[in-house]
Amino acid sequence: MNSLFDKFQGADLERLADCFLAIRKAGLTTTKHTQAGLNEYSGNVWVWDEDWLGAVACSIGFDVFWVHSCSECGSEQEFETYQELEEYVAKYDIATCQNCVEQVTA
């Protein structure tokens, strides 16, 4: 089994800790299915769980945000809080996004 410290070191650990603080603030819990990683392209540290509506991420600049990825088109929307993410999902349905709705109505 890989150690958490094999994947995260230095500032990445601090950003992971910021993600965990955001998870706690949102009232969410981690499970054995929770995953965490480092996006090689953006440098963002992220944490996701199958029971959540999206993932939390922390940028290189230590900005924490929530991300919803549309299962239909792959579009990603960013939110400052998990509550904003919940409101978005309730408005557009968990399987779609604003982009999908705009394409259908165009």
Task: Specify the pLDDT at position 80.
Answer: 97
Task: Specify the pLDDT at position 13.
Answer: 95
Once rounded to an integer, what is the mean pLDDT over residues 84-89? 93
pLDDT mean across residues, the chain:
90
Contact 70, 96 (CB under 8 A): yes
Q: Is pLDDT above 90 for 19?
A: yes
Contact 46, 57 (CB under 8 A): yes
Once rounded to an integer, what is the mean pLDDT over residues 75-104? 83
Contact 42, 59 (CB under 8 A): yes
Give the confidence band of 85 by pLDDT, cuts at 50, 70, 90: very high
pLDDT tens profile 26-67? 999 999 999 999 999 999 999 999 999 999 999 999 999 999
